[in-house]
Each structure stands twice: as C-alpha cells, then as structure tokens.
Structure 1
Amino acid sequence: MNGPVVVGVDGSPSALEAVDAAAQEAQLRDAELRVVHAFLWPGLHAPPGSSPLGPPTGALYETVERIVVEALERARSRAAGLHVSHAVIAGEAVAALQAQSRTAQLIVVGHRGSGGFAELLLGSTAVQLSAHSDCPVMIARGRPAPTGPVLVAVDGSPQGQPAIAFAFLEAALRGTELVALHAWSTRSDHGEHALGRRVDMADPGGDVDHLRQQEERELTEALANHRKQHPGVTVRPRLVRGRTRPVLIDASADAQLMVVGARGHGGFAGLLLGSVSQATLHHAHCPVTVVRANP
C-alpha cells in the first residue's frame, strides 16, 4: 500500500469525525495522513503574485488557519506518532480531492459539512467524487460498532471484486471478521433489485430452493480467491432474501465499516445514482466506503 490517506476538512463537526476515521486508517496502514482544505474565492481574484489566502492578518487566512490547525491537532491526538501533512488548495473541493486521489490510497470525507465540502452528499458532487476518484472513498457517518465486523456487499459481478478485496484488507488490518452479504429476491418479492444483480426475472412458480442454492454458489465463488489471499481473516457469508435497501441498512447497525462497489449489475449498477445507494449513504449506521472497479 502506497500513498497517503487524505481527509477533506471544512471546519464542520462531520469533517472532524472524518479526521478521526482517516487517522485510524492511516495508523492501520502505516501511512501518511494528509489534511486537505479547499476553498473558493467569493467572486474575487487575488492580485498577481499574492497568496491566495490574502494577507496573514486577513479574515480568510485566519479562518483557513483555524480549520487546518484544528484538524491537525485532532489527528495527532487520535494517533500518536502519526505523520501528518496538510494542503490548502484554492479551488473547488471535489476537484481538489479528485486530484489528491491520484496519489492517495484512500479519501475520507464527512457526510455533512460547510463551505467547500458542504455539498458532498447533498447533490451531484457526491456522484462525481465517488465516480471519478482514483482510489476508494470513505464517507464517515453513523456510529460504527467498535468490535463489529467489516460488512461487504457482494454482487457476484467482476466489477464488484475490488470492493471485496478492499473489505478483506480492512478486516485484516482491523483484526476483525468479515461479513459478506449477498441479498436476493424473486419477482414475487416486489421485483426488488438484489445486491449486484437483478433476480426478479426468476419464475415465481419455479424452484425457489434451487435459486437459493444458485445464489449461495455465486456468493462462495465471489469470495474464493480472496479467502486464499487472506487466510487469517474469518469470513461469515450471509445470504439474505429480502429488499436491498433495508437489508443493507439493517446489517450496518452491527458493523464498524460497510464496503460497497461503485458499479456492478442490477442493484449496484448505478450505486450513487439510484435510490438504494442514496438511502445507504444517508442512513447507514456506520461509515461507508465506495470502491470503484478499474478507476
């Protein structure tokens, strides 16, 4: 694992929670933690050659300094000995984080904020960051269960494999078990999209037991190679018949981290574009990490 763990900060309580999560991740990975604050001038242009923050006694300078210093102190208090750096960027927040993601191994942001990161989960910027980041994106939210498992949504698609790999790594780093959840349904189950692929085309009059066995095999096959690479990780496969949204949200209540793929087929095909993904990001009981395939 190379590159820093990057956390976006804006002075909000949610951003400070993100700093906590990012500090933990950096410590687990023995990586640098980089605190990033991005800001936009309110329709003004700095004179050529001047600092984008204005004079050292200016209000903007003082505000940015306060935000960054608070985040740095928070990070160092959470992880002794952690190497912490920072960057202040004049520009749009998501663009700044996307640029940082080219060399980072993980981006961490809060679920709410103010200023540069205020819209991360409130509009198109959330889609942009998770869809275009070159590394996984963690949204710090909820109350993670300290001794709970890492929860990964398994969809059986090739595009979902990076998310599974990331989840195995997280479970190994955290020294906890991995719950691999695969939900499925039939046409009679409200035509619901299952985790990763649509199974509502199944004939409701057919052999449901046979379909369940097929889904179980798919779950087993999706985990096989990762089990070999991480023999020390205890894996608990969970095959759940039910609607995707409540299944994910309910399962997150006992987890310390949930991992999902950014693209798949069926329910996760447009993870950050549809109602299921939006509900997960807004209502999960623990942090959520989105992992893109082939970033």
Structure 2
Amino acid sequence: MIGRHVVVGVDGSLVATRALDGAAREALWRGVALRVVYAVQDRDEAGPVLAAAVSRVRERHPRLPVTATAVEADAARALVGAGHDAELTVVGARGLGPVAGLLLGSVAVRLAAHLNGPLLVVLGDHPPAERGRVVVALEGEADTAAVEYAFAEAERRAARLVILCAWEQRHLPQGPPPRMAVRAPGAVRVARRLGTEVPVARTAVERLRRRHPLVEVDTRMVRTVAPQTLLRSTGEADVVVAARPHTAGLPGPRLGWAVHTLLGRSRCPVLIVPT
C-alpha cells in the first residue's frame, strides 16, 4: 500500500517530461512521494520510458521517493485508476493555442471530466515560466472550493494569489424580481441566491486569508469573469486554478466554460478542482 503521493502520467514525449518535472515539484512542496504511471498495451515495452523518468527525477531531486508502474490500459483509464487516492494527478497536454475549442478525445479532457481528485494539466512542451503568481476566478459561492485550493497552492509555492472577483451580481436590486420573472417556478429563490452569492463568497475569502496569513492576496474586481479576462490572467501566472462544477441530476460529467477555455488556450498550467 502506497502512502500519500502525487501521480503523473508519462509516455516518453517532451510534453510528458514537462508534466513529470511539474509533478516532482508538486510532490516536494507537499512532502509526499511521486508515482510515475505509463499506460501501455504490453508491459514489456514500458521499461525504457519508466527507467528514464525515474532517473530524471532522482537526478534532480535525490531525496524525493519515486516509484514507477506500467498499466495495461488506455492512458485516461490508467490515470483515473491510479489517481483515485492521490493528492494530485498530473498530465501533459499540447493545448490548441489560439484556436477555440477542445480536442474532445484528449487524455486531459477525459481526466478532467472523470477524475475524483485535483488534476494539474501542464500545457505545451516549453518549461513553465516562474512568475510567482497563482490565479483563481471567483464568481459565486460555487467557486469557493477552488479558491480554498488556490490559497493552499499559493502557500505551497510561496506565491502571490490573484483572485478575479466578479462584482456584477452584487448590484442586483433587492426584493423579488419583476412580475414577469416571478411567474417561473423558483424564480424568486434563484434571484435571491444570485444576489447574495458573491458577498457570501467574499466572506469565505476573508476567512481563508486568516487561515493562510502568509499568502499575499491581490483581489481584482471585474464586471464579470469572461473567457478573455481569465485567459489574459494566465499570461502572468505560474498556475491557474479552476473549479469543475458539480452537476447533480445531469447525465455525465460537465467541465464548465472555464475548464473548457483553459484546457485549450491557457498560457500556464491548469489546476482543476472538482466541487
């Protein structure tokens, strides 16, 4: 039985090597072991790739415990299985640059949809820049889990936390919505929830600031956290944290617009937190 650990998927590519380097750093920051996983059709082909990965980690981080495992399965299925009890799962992806949308069959997208724990997606084959910032968006109470994770990540990295906080919903009028809207079942309840979500979330931020006094926080008020606003922020970040929304009652997992946008076009690694 393995103790606390970070899981990373490798396949011998340069993109996977960047993910391996990122996973090793995350394991060191957490004080846990690193588990390297290679999904193959035949275990006999896994030796050279796994040996190279372990050698790279040990050369760079000689005190980091590292193990390697070959799994006969497709990559997404192997990493979902390996990551079910991991503190973090890490995978590399190429992204799509300026092109909108996602490669629907990609391992990163499938992991983001089905993994139960946090997922770090390292995009591209260039070493990530070190800017000393963690970015997270806060649009409502549903985002507080991602903000809480972002505080912890910023503390681990000794980085500044940038919170993009939407203020638009705070200015909704008090009382019930107009008569036309009241006709819809539940409209009053929904309108009142929207009117209070952001203040409630801001209260949660203040609580987290007290819990993480060493984290320097930069709260930036924006009218709404639009895709372009979020993408621009990734150009100044070491990592952007995004929530995968809870979708009770809906068939299959949903990634949400933020995760979809970031996996295709982010300029820094993306850390996805299920809520």
Write the distance in 2 (CA, Å) between the matches of 1:176 and 1:273: 26
| Structure 1 residue 214 displacement after superposition | 7.6
CA distance in 1, matches of 2:84, 2:215: 29
Q: CA deviation at 1:272?
A: 2.6
Question: Using the alignment, how far apart are the partners of 1:136 and 1:292 within structure 2?
Answer: 7
Specify the code of the residue in structure 1 equivalent to 2:131. T
The TM-score, its normalising length taken from structure 2, stands at: 0.76
- Sequence identity (%): 35
1:172 equivalent in alignment to 2:155: yes
Q: Judge conservation of contact 2:144–2:201 (CA < 8 Å) in 1.
A: no
Query: Secondary structure, in 3 states, of the residue corresponding to 2:245?
Result: coil
Closer/same/farther in 2, CA of residues 26 and 93 from structure 1, 3 Å limit: same
Task: State the alpha-carbon separation in 1 of the partners of residues 166 and 156 from structure 2.
Answer: 26
TM-score (norm 1): 0.71
What is residue 106 of structure 1 aligned with on the other side?
A: 88
Residue of structure 2 equivalent to 1:33: 34
Specify the code of the residue in structure 2 equivalent to 1:102.
H
Q: Evaluate the alpha carbon distance shift between residue 185 and residue 246 of structure 1 in structure 2; reply closer, same or farther with a 3 A threshold.
A: farther
How much does 1:76 deviate? Answer: 2.1
6-15 or 213-222, larger mean C-alpha shift: 213-222
Corresponding residue for residue 150 of structure 1: 134
Distance 1:133-1:243 versus aligned 2 partners, 3 A rule: closer
Measured against aligned partners, the alpha-carbon deviations of 1:148-185 in whole angstroms (never above 9, x if no partner) come to 2111122322x422211211111111111111112455
Aligned partners of 1:102, 1:264: CA distance in 2, in Å? 18
Q: What's the counterpart of residue 97 of structure 1?
A: 79
Of the structure 1 ranges 239-248 and 169-178, higher mean CA displacement relative to structure 2 is found in: 239-248
Partner amino acid for 2:214? Answer: G
Post-superposition CA distance 1:97-123 (Å, at most 9, x none): 11112210000000139xxxxxxx732
- Unmatched runs of 5 consecutive residues or more in structure 1: 41-51, 54-60, 114-120, 187-200, 202-212
**Counterpart amino acid of residue 103 in structure 2:** L
Moved over 3 A (4+): 124-128, 142-145, 183-186, 213-219
Deviations 1:110-139 (A, max 9, x none): 0139xxxxxxx7324544322321210000
Opposite residue 135 of structure 2, the aligned amino acid is: L
Match of 2:24, as an amino acid? A
Once residues 215 and 93 of structure 2 are traced to their aligned partners in structure 1, the CA distance between those partners, rounded to angstroms, is: 29
Task: Identify, as 1 or 2, the structure richer in helix.
Answer: 2
* RMSD value, Cα: 2.7
Residue-by-residue CA offset, 1:211-259 (whole Å, 9 max, x unaligned): xx98874552231221222122111111112561111110111111110
Q: Residues 250, 218 of structure 1: CA spacing in aligned structure 2 closer, same or farther, 3 A cutoff?
A: farther
Distance 1:29 1:85 in 2: 16
Q: Structure 1 residues 73 and 95 mapped into 2: Cα distance closer, same or farther (>3 Å)? A: same
| Partner AA of 2:38 in structure 1 | H
Contact (CA 8 Å) 1:144, 1:257: kept in 2 or not?
Answer: no
1:145–1:253 CA contact under 8 A, matched in 2: no
